Structure 1
Amino acid sequence: MKHFKQFLKNKFPFVIKLKYIFRAIFLGTTLKYVEVHIVDHCNLKCNGCTHFSNISEPKFSDARILHFHLGRLNEIFGKIDKVRLLGGEPLLHPDIINILNISRDALPYSEIELITNGLLLDKMPEEFFRTLHKNKISVEVSNYMPIQNKIKQIQEMLSLFKIKHSITPMVMAFTANLNPKGTNDRENTFKNCRHKICTILKDDCIYICPICAYIDKYNKYFNKNIPLPKGINIHSNSAKQILEYLKKSVETCKYCTNDSNYINWTCSNNPKETDWNGKTN
């Protein structure tokens, strides 16, 4: 039976697509987008990083555990439209090639994209690029100032291995949205939040946004106590329960504001609490 199913997938891939279309229509269980940290820390220290990578201690995803979690998401949703592998800087991961392989194995029908600042691309082995191509994983390069003299080389390198890629517009500023006093209306903040589309898978839980997922790093670094939501466990909840969770605000939303401060992009080894502060009354 297993071989027969594989034969159908290879011979008639459109049947698989129809399965997901019907599942989405009748069960209402479509997850369009999710982000996954491969590495928490980064080789750039961008002030006000929304993922708090500049103040994160080194942490690498375990390939076996990641495969387990991604496989569970694929099982309950049938397909996730787009999955972005990021961080932090994912190319810091010592087992990045295996991570790429297990991601595609767990998510055979999803669009997978690797997000990198590009600083390490010219140091990656040929196997890395061949693995990207084999698994049809695209690359998005965040265009920060330090790679300005590398962009042409990066594009040529990725094109050589026929890897779908894009270079973002040059990053000139970050948005800062925290309100450490927690005086914002959580429902209004959630309703108008620009980050809630950035669903995060962290360990075995789904979170609304990167701030909700990683505010514990800010708390630890600056000795604060902004509430860290529990997230929703992907192994003990259904697809519908997860989607319902993502429609609702959490306590952490009181500590954000929709009135952003825009801070010029810069790197620093001396981060300050105010690097993340939005405008508050």
Structure 2
Amino acid sequence: MLKTRVITAIVLLVGLLSALFLLPAGGWLLLCAAVAAGAGWEWGALAGFGRGLRTGFALALGAACLIVGQAVGLGDGVLVAKAPLFLLYGLSAAFWLLAVPAWLSRKWRLGNPVLALVVGLVVLLPPALALAHLRLLGPWTLLAVMAVVWVADISAYFAGRAFGRRKLAPTISPGKTWEGAIGAGIGVLVFGYAVALQGGLALPLRADWPGLAPLLVAYAAVSIIGDLFESLLKRQAGMKDSGSILPGHGGILDRIDSLTSTLPLAALAALALVP
């Protein structure tokens, strides 16, 4: 199992870096749409959709990413319309910052198909567009934004293994601890300031140095919320993984759960702060 995980991780990393630095804007948007469609298929399983509805939702989600992305200029490499992205990112931010904490507390379910379709659209379309949008700022910028999430996840894992005592959300994800969450915060602080020292802040957040710390910690916290949200849905659906497309790693949603909550926030900041 470990060998399979390592091989899959290497293949994913090489594929991501190759696509990130070599694909033209249109090709990258197409890849983002494909990821959205794959995640949409897995979302259908979490929501209990039948095969027909799962297929339709996945195709509609991929098409929506392409249509909106092309309309605002992401496929051509030049952002020509900000308003649609402001609306989608703002809706995503409101969902993750306001609705999801209540959702996790009350353990709501995706019992209604209409609700599941709407929530799936809010969860998956904005991050897919954010992937295409943030790359316009440069491959290294997008890589840094995603790396903050990866650092938070890795730091939480090792801090939790070493010091974890108090459960963060025992009925949702028993393995997560408050000590792990603190470790995630420390990890992103170290990483964020290290990036800032290497010739300027690579994240699309132009902040003074003292103000950078709360932004990084908040970003890590939102990444944990995204992880917990998917964990809750999988638990309610009786699933260990969202899918099996990635040997040793589960499904697409298992790999991007924290990015679904964080990428739209970073892209929203980019819209507001980057000319």
Tell me whether the two structures share a fold, i.e. TM-score over 0.5: no
The normalised TM-score by structure 2 is 0.25
**Which structure carries more helix by proportion?**
2
Higher CA-based Rg: 1
Higher relative contact order, structure no. (Cα contacts within 8 Å, ≥ 6 residues apart): 2
The normalised TM-score by structure 1 is 0.24
